[in-house]
Amino acid sequence: MPARHRTSLCREGWYLLLLLAVVLAWAVLRENNLLLLVSGVLCGMLLIDGRMSRGTLRRLEVRRRIVAQGHAGDWIAVEIEVFNPRRRLASWAVAVEDCVVRRGAPARERPVRPRLVFPFVAAGQRVRQSYRLCLPRRGRHDLGPLRVSTRFPFGLIRRTVWFDSGAELLVLPRLGQLQPNWLRHCPPAPHGVHGARRPGYVPGDFFAVREWQSGDSVRWVHWRSTARHRELVVRQFEQPGERPLALLVDLWAPEHARPELLQRVELAVSFAATLVADSCRRRSPALLTIAAAQNICLAGRGAGPFLRHAFEALALAEPVSSPASLVASLRDDAIRQIGPDVELLVVSTRADAAAELAALAAAGRPAAGRRIPPRLIVIDDEAALRPYFVWDQPAAETGP
């Protein structure tokens, strides 16, 4: 149901109304019946336009569906469905305008207003269209209300209704590219770290099915999928062939920070998201700890669920202005979960807190002795990550 509605004159309607007033005044002063007839025709056009534009949007239903979440700088598709439940009267020239605004954005940041036009919606028909938008900032975005309008048939009167169909869109952090220097900085695990495997042993968790290949074990056959596809289909398991990664992200920025300081925070979040995606691609997720306005600690084995929760946590992370928020809050929760074969990496935006974070990394070594020394990366400017990480080109520059 529409939340509110309005009928207003368009610019062309005001021109016609002015012309009608001039013609009617001239007809009365000159007592010209032909001009009176012309003024009646002009007045009839306004009445017919208002009546038909009102009937075009009567009982019309409009829904929105977010196809999938996306990353900052990527194109996100949103589907709009218009349903005409009437039995006889169709709808013409229906324009649907959405409103997308970032939650907590300053007043100077203008909302994005994508617009779609449905030329014809027959009686009892559902018509779907989708628009694509590129949002440059991560975080929660509010969608709505939907503004539906029409100027059918003469374009003189605009009938507008608003549908209070609010929705929430979570924009994930922007992903970048890891440079070859990063592989030399964090080399892969040597063969044999995880121990020998006996024949038929299935490492990792089940996550998909694939076609039969020579050398697959009979115990991996997925019989239900085989019967459905009428060909041998085997289960596919995660293979932890790389060293697990424990990532500690310290997001700090002073109050009323300058734009370049906030840019460092976004760079740290993007770098952390890229590292987590690369780690899950190698089937070796371990731990993600975020020291921010709300501390978060995530640990898991499944690559899919861990990656999804990690992206959501990084998308909502906000920097903290406290000088010492990482050591006291996260040492007991995060360091305790790190084993001796886990790669420990600390990423921070504190330019003057390298000693504190280095002490935290040193405190994370277990009593039995850590095989892998911890590493520390302080992002004091964009050049600090240039040898290891680069931003992707925004989608707004490359086109949809």
Q: Which residues make beta-bridge pairs with 71?
A: 172
- Looking at the domain assignment, is residue 201 inside a domain? no
In terms of domains, do 156 and 296 share one? no
- Looking at the domain assignment, is residue 199 inside a domain? no
In terms of domains, do 140 and 257 share one? no
Burial 67-86 (b: 16+ CB within 10 A, else e): eeebbbbbbbebebbbebeb
> Could you write out the three-class secondary structure of 35-94?
HHHHHHHHHHHHHHHHHHHHHHCCCCEEEEEECCCCECCCEEEEEEEEECCCCCCCEEEE
Which amino acid does the sequence have at 128? R
In terms of domains, do 391 and 265 share one? yes
Nearest partner of 381 among 263, 255, 259, judged by Cα: 263
Number of domains into which the chain is organized: 3
Specify the pLDDT at position 104. Answer: 85
Nearest partner of 83 among 106, 114, 60, judged by Cα: 60
Cβ 138 vs Cβ 251: under 8 Å? no
In terms of domains, do 19 and 88 share one? yes
- Looking at the domain assignment, is residue 24 inside a domain? yes
Specify the pLDDT at position 56. Answer: 93
**Residue owning tokens 């975080």:** 139
> Could you list the pLDDT tens digit for every one of the 400 residues in the chain?
667 899 999 999 999 999 999 999 999 998 899 999 999 999 999 999 999 999 999 999 999 999 888 899 889 999 999 999 999 899 999 999 999 999 988 888 899 999 999 999 999 999 999 999 999 899 999 998 999 999 999 999 999 999 988 899 999 999 988 888 776 666 555 443 343 333 344 445 555 677 777 667 778 788 888 888 778 888 776 554 556 778 888 888 887 778 888 888 888 899 999 888 888 876 566 688 887 878 788 876 667 788 888 999 999 998 887 665 455 556 556 666 666 666 777 788 877 656 655 555 555 444 444 445 556 676 766 677 778 888 765 544 444 4
| pTM for this entry | 0.76
Specify the pLDDT at position 100. Answer: 94
In terms of domains, do 378 and 256 share one? yes
Q: Could you tell me the CATH number of the domain that includes residue 74?
A: 2.60.40.10
Nearest partner of 345 among 390, 294, 302, 389, judged by Cα: 389
In terms of domains, do 10 and 74 share one? yes
- Looking at the domain assignment, is residue 255 inside a domain? yes
- Looking at the domain assignment, is residue 263 inside a domain? yes
In terms of domains, do 16 and 128 share one? yes
In terms of domains, do 310 and 375 share one? yes
Nearest partner of 237 among 204, 209, 211, judged by Cα: 204
DSSP strands (E only) in 275-378:
285-291, 296-299, 343-348, 375-378
In terms of domains, do 296 and 348 share one? yes
- Residue 214's domain comprises 206-237
- Looking at the domain assignment, is residue 2 inside a domain? yes
In terms of domains, do 389 and 261 share one? yes
In terms of domains, do 257 and 289 share one? yes
The encoded tokens of residue 121 equal 């919606």
- Looking at the domain assignment, is residue 197 inside a domain? no
Specify the pLDDT at position 285. Answer: 63
In terms of domains, do 103 and 11 share one? yes
- Looking at the domain assignment, is residue 200 inside a domain? no
